[in-house]
Structure 1
């Protein structure tokens, strides 16, 4: 059966294959092919871009994660840990942390001071006057790191703004007694062989140094400050693992260094951390008697805030607990608020167990920021107070 040319044209037309349509289909195929090629190129470029930047993203995230985890709290916290962490913190937060060595001990360990913040108003927090109370060093170091990271990321901590560090400088001396801490943690390995017999004698012949409180010279550093030193009770008459006040006030380098720093920075408030009792000591008789009722009420207002967040009971030191201590000296010499915080449950002749730290941190992690806010408030009150009127003669 044969078809005419007209029939062929009709048949082709019915199958949709007119010359115009055929050309259109070819153009569509070309467009689709080009689109596919471009999509593959785009995907390839994106993949290579991601692969190129992925290491940088990983490094950045790694540093961000590490930034908040420099200070490790799951092991015995040594002088070496503290020193290494301080260098890393200073490098990580150079805009807000300044590190200073106040002095060196007789055994060559530095007593570090850390300035956190850029404000003119200052406060001072110290820890580990007593060797076996090294958990206070770990606490203060974790404060430094936490506050610095919060300031960097502008992240409030339990509703408290880290921006306070733009107005107030928090000064820390996290380990006042590095020689004593090292001796308590490592025993006679911490000191030269020729000194072993001397240290055994100061430790009453006991080779275990877990109970050690004194510095490397057998002096109790928190019985070294001038106020009330002469009247100190319950002290020993010779160098010992505890309770020897020295032969004169400020005999120990460590106490000298802390006094020198305090006089230089003139803090509005001072806090001294110790480790046993879950109590806050505040005020001494000689200081309170020189103050007005308003000043006493302001101090009570501050200590109430500290007690509210820590849930530590409040106490005023008794006769055997007064004199020779850092906060005794600060409160009397500067006539400003000073508080001694005992962070853990009462333990006898040993350091707090590591298992206690999470609870200690929970109770104390806001103390530095609260103290900073209260210091700024006190400073603003002073500025707002009217100047005394000149006397008329």
Structure 2
């Protein structure tokens, strides 16, 4: 903000800020104004800015769980109200930044109490909700900005499975983060054996900073369950053959999500070489709790990210009730 000049003391500045914040909040509630803009390429900077706008409201705060390969903070938007903890994660893969926009739009609706009758203020008071919209900010920035991305020189010579940079899935080290968790890592098949835009699982599991940060958070906090959002496919993955003890707890959640969205409820994954080393598989096996992977949006356009101006048609009209339904079903 720079230096405060003249007679404007810190106290008076804070008072003005407080009054403007209250006015802005009431205006947003009254006129249904929007903070989150999911109709543009959803960049890291936009996400941070919109997080800060939402974090002025009670019980909301932004924390960092670590830094990416390129040194970007990995923020968590936390609604800290109650004892039961839930985790929602997006953008393991760079080009899937539409999942960050979806999570942020969902957060906004929760903050502004727009999710009735699914979730009321009284229900929210039972939970602490941890939202990580963009676990892989470097990958998202590469997919959005291409050669103009800060840190591009570090990935310029890496193998590209598909030439256009907008198809980039990996992090800044060329590791595909959802193939990198210490769960069936050795069994996980990959024909990509070097750092690349996608498909390379890494030399050793759980060594990339983004994955280490998420695993550390999960070890520290006693999450009851987790959701992880990807794109594309309109599919719900809720179980695998390595953690069948979780099925009874996970199935009601997955079934409800399918009913709310019309997405396809997939059978339990059985081929370890295909499903191994993902976050959802690690979380289920390590904590013996549900973790459901949801592929947002239809599988159209191949590896090219969706045109974000069609966000409502592609994602929101089908998936908008998923996170409210999740909270409703997890009520203590």
**2:317 corresponds to which of 348, 357, 362:** 362
**2:148 corresponds to which of 169, 177, 189:** 189
Equivalent residues in 2 for 1:17-28 (5 A)? none
> Measured at CA, do residues 96 and 366 of structure 1 come closer, stay the same or move farther in structure 2, by a change above 3 Å?
farther
The SS at the match of 2:158 is: helix
Residues in 2 aligned to 1:162 and 1:367: alpha-carbon distance in whole angstroms: 17
Equivalent residues in 2 for 1:44-123 (5 A)? 62-64=27-29, 68-91=33-56, 93=57, 95-123=58-86
**1:163 corresponds to which of 96, 100, 122:** 122
- 2:247 matched residue in structure 1: 296
- 2:88 matched residue in structure 1: 125
Residues in 1 aligned to 2:102 and 2:192: alpha-carbon distance in whole angstroms: 30
- 2:274 matched residue in structure 1: 321
Task: Provide the alpha-carbon RMSD of the alignment.
Answer: 2.4
1:209 deviates by 0.4
1:369 deviates by 2.3
For structure 1, the residue ranges without an aligned partner over 5 or more in a row are: 1-54, 378-393
**2:297 corresponds to which of 344, 348, 353:** 344
Q: TM-score, normalised by structure 2?
A: 0.86
What CA deviation, in whole Å up to 9, does each residue of 1:139-195 have, x standing for no partner? 001111110110xxxx65244424321001111110000001001111111134643
- Contact kept in structure 2, 1:123 and 1:371, CA below 8 Å: no
What CA deviation, in whole Å up to 9, does each residue of 1:215-242 have, x standing for no partner? 0110000011101111001341000000
- 1:353 matched residue in structure 2: 307
Residues in 1 aligned to 2:115 and 2:230: alpha-carbon distance in whole angstroms: 27
- 1:277 matched residue in structure 2: 233
1:323 deviates by 0.8
Greater helix fraction, Structure 1 or Structure 2: 1
- 2:128 aligned with 1:173: no
Q: TM-score, normalised by structure 1?
A: 0.73
Please tell me whether Structure 1 or Structure 2 has the larger radius of gyration of its CA atoms. Answer: 1
- 1:49 matched residue in structure 2: none
Residues in 2 aligned to 1:239 and 1:63: alpha-carbon distance in whole angstroms: 45
- Contact kept in structure 1, 2:40 and 2:309, CA below 8 Å: no
- 1:331 matched residue in structure 2: 284
Answer 1 or 2: higher relative contact order, Cα 8 Å, separation at least 6. Answer: 2
